[in-house]
């Protein structure tokens, strides 16, 4: 029996969490979930959206499955997601992006992986109002954080038979910050001559991703570009409903989808649980439940390929619960 932390989140979080835990249970994986609510409702009842109990639970269990948590825009509390990544030093945000059979998009042969530095950059949240008409934000890039994300990505590329790694920056403009990030990439690249190292500016990358995404393999980006580009890459394979992710640190790992809490479809039984389910499959592989992970993945892929029972983001008309039942039927 595994004891793992579960953060159901808010918005569509609880709906997709129910779907995914039901599928995992039906596949016969024994998990004792340590359920840890976080987010806006918790902020009201406990005075903070990210109580210490959540951090302690993940530190204890080492692994968490996390649904999205809403962050107020332009005001209110700091992002729970950012705080969690920082607090647990989950420095590598890994977002694989591969075409899924049955999900039609204008793009073919997409099989790339985004490594987003997860602890600094403009996400450090160091902002101030200078006067009523002027505000500033500080972009932090350190050698330590940059080197370890490149090291992680190069090692992953080696272990997974990847061929090319692009360092993505805007080092022509942010010469010191992105310049340092790029310099770290160049240095680490020398240790991995088997992987072809390339450099690209983030704006050019965005254009090329929507022209011929098949030429990209491993992308390594500072935090903010990584956030934006990984939503773009999600769009290449069918949207946020199918884009998985993981936050990995030295001691803990938090598996969470790329998407947010989707307040526009909250409570409508319309959310696609695929992204969170793919995160869970990745998590099951990570904890050694490979056979059950494969069983769930095969059922999911069959339902997606059949295309008869898809959620509305994928052009179907199935509800979250119908889609979930269909996967369980196929286990
Ligand atoms: P979003 O990802 O929540 O939604 C963008 C669009 O994609 C919406 O139209 C939504 O309906 C759709 N969508 C997202 N996930 C879907 C799914 N599973 N199934 C079907 N459709 C889906 O991004 P948005 O609206 O910018 O952010 C909403 C909130 O989520 C914000 O408070 C934001 O801060 C938060 N957020 C949280 C994240 C996390 O917890 N890791 C990550 C990104 C955003």
Same domain, 232 and 274: no
In angstroms, what CA-CA distances link 168 with 108, 147, 216, 271? 22, 14, 12, 32
Reported confidence tier of residue 76, pLDDT bands at 50, 70, 90: confident
Lowest mean pLDDT across 19-33, 41-55, 155-169, 253-267: 41-55
Reported confidence tier of residue 16, pLDDT bands at 50, 70, 90: very high
| Protein residue with least CA distance to atom 44, ligand 1 | 260
Count Cα neighbours of 98 within 13 Å in the Cβ-side half-sphere: 11
Note the pLDDT of residue 107. Answer: 96
Boundary residue ending a domain (186, 211, 236): 236
Q: Is residue 92 part of a domain?
A: yes
Boundary residue ending a domain (236, 264, 291): 236
In angstroms, what CA-CA distances link 37 with 65, 85, 198, 272, 288? 12, 16, 42, 21, 26
d(CA 255, CA 95): 10
Q: Is residue 146 part of a domain?
A: yes
Cβ neighbour number for residue 67 with a 10 Å cutoff: 29
Residue ranges of E strands in 1-108: 2-7, 31-35, 63-66, 92-98
Which CATH number does the domain housing residue 118 bear? 3.40.718.10
Note the pLDDT of residue 232. Answer: 97
Strands 164-169 and 218-221: parallel
Note the pLDDT of residue 87. Answer: 92
Interval 182-199 mean pLDDT: 98
For 31, the 3-state DSSP assignment is strand
Q: At what angle do helices 320-329 and 290-306 cross, to 10 degrees?
A: 120
Same domain, 125 and 221: yes
pTM of the predicted model, to two decimals?
0.94
Q: Is residue 101 part of a domain?
A: no
pLDDT in tens, 252-304: 999 999 999 999 999 999 999 999 999 999 999 999 999 999 999 999 999 99
How does DSSP assign 16-30, residue by residue? HHHHHHHHHHHTT--
Same domain, 263 and 225: no
Judging by beta carbons within 10 Å of its beta carbon (0-12, 13-18, 19+), is residue 211 exposed, middle or buried? exposed
Q: Is residue 10 part of a domain?
A: yes
Among 9, 65, 69, 260, the mutation site with the greatest number of ligand 1 atoms within 8 A of its Cβ is 260
The values of phi and psi at residue 51, to 5°, are: -65, 155
Note the pLDDT of residue 78. Answer: 80
Note the pLDDT of residue 44. Answer: 87
Same domain, 201 and 126: yes
In angstroms, what CA-CA distances link 55 with 127, 252, 289? 25, 10, 24
| Protein residue with least CA distance to atom 16, ligand 1 | 241
Among 81, 245, 259, the mutation site with the greatest number of ligand 1 atoms within 8 A of its Cβ is 259
Same domain, 291 and 229: no
DSSP structure class, residue 319: -
Check if 10 has its Cβ closer than 6 Å to any atom of ligand 1: no
Check if 14 has its Cβ closer than 6 Å to any atom of ligand 1: no
Cβ distance 158 to 195 under 8 Å?
A: yes
Boundary residue ending a domain (212, 236, 260): 236
Q: Is residue 71 part of a domain?
A: yes
**What is the span of the domain harbouring residue 222?**
106-236
Reported confidence tier of residue 72, pLDDT bands at 50, 70, 90: confident
Same domain, 85 and 32: yes
Report the number of distinct structural domains present in the chain. 2
pLDDT in tens, 93-110: 999 999 999 998 999 999
Note the pLDDT of residue 271. Answer: 98
Same domain, 274 and 316: yes
| Protein residue with least CA distance to atom 4, ligand 1 | 262
Same domain, 224 and 255: no
Q: Does position 308 have pLDDT exceeding 90, yes or no? A: yes
Check if 261 has its Cβ closer than 6 Å to any atom of ligand 1: yes
For 114, the 3-state DSSP assignment is strand
């Amino acid at each position: 029996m595994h004891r793992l932390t579960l953060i159901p989140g808010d918005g569509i979080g609880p709906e997709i969490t129910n779907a995914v835990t039901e599928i995992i249970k039906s596949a016969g994986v024994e998990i004792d979930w340590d359920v840890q609510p976080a987010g806006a409702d918790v902020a009201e009842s406990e005075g903070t959206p990210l109580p210490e109990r959540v951090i302690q639970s993940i530190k204890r269990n080492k692994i968490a499955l996390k649904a999205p948590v809403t962050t107020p825009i332009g005001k209110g509390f700091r992002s729970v997601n950012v705080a969690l990544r920082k607090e647990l030093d989950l420095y590598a945000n890994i977002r694989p992006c591969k075409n899924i059979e049955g999900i039609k998009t204008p793009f073919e042969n997409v099989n790339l992986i985004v490594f987003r530095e997860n602890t600094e950059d403009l996400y450090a949240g160091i902002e101030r109002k200078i006067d009523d008409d002027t505000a500033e934000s500080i972009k932090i890039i350190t050698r330590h954080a940059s080197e370890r994300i490149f090291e992680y990505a190069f090692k992953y590329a080696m272990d997974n038979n990847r061929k090319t790694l692009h360092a993505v920056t805007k080092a022509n403009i942010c010469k010191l910050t992105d310049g340092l990030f790029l310099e770290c990439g160049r240095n680490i690249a020398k240790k991995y001559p088997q992987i072809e190292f390339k450099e690209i500016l983030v704006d050019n990358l965005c254009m090329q991703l929507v022209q011929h995404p098949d030429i990209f393999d491993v992308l390594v980006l500072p935090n903010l570009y990584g956030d934006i580009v990984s939503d773009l890459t999600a769009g290449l394979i069918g949207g946020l409903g199918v884009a998985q992710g993981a936050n990995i640190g030295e001691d803990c790992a938090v598996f969470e989808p790329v998407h947010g809490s989707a307040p526009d479809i909250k409570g409508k039984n319309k959310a696609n649980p695929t992204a969170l389910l793919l995160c869970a499959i990745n998590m099951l592989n990570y904890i050694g439940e490979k056979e059950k992970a494969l069983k769930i993945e095969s059922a999911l892929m069959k339902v997606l390929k059949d295309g008869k029972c898809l959620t509305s983001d994928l052009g179907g008309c199935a509800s979250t619960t119908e889609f979930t039942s269909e996967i369980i039927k196929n286990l």
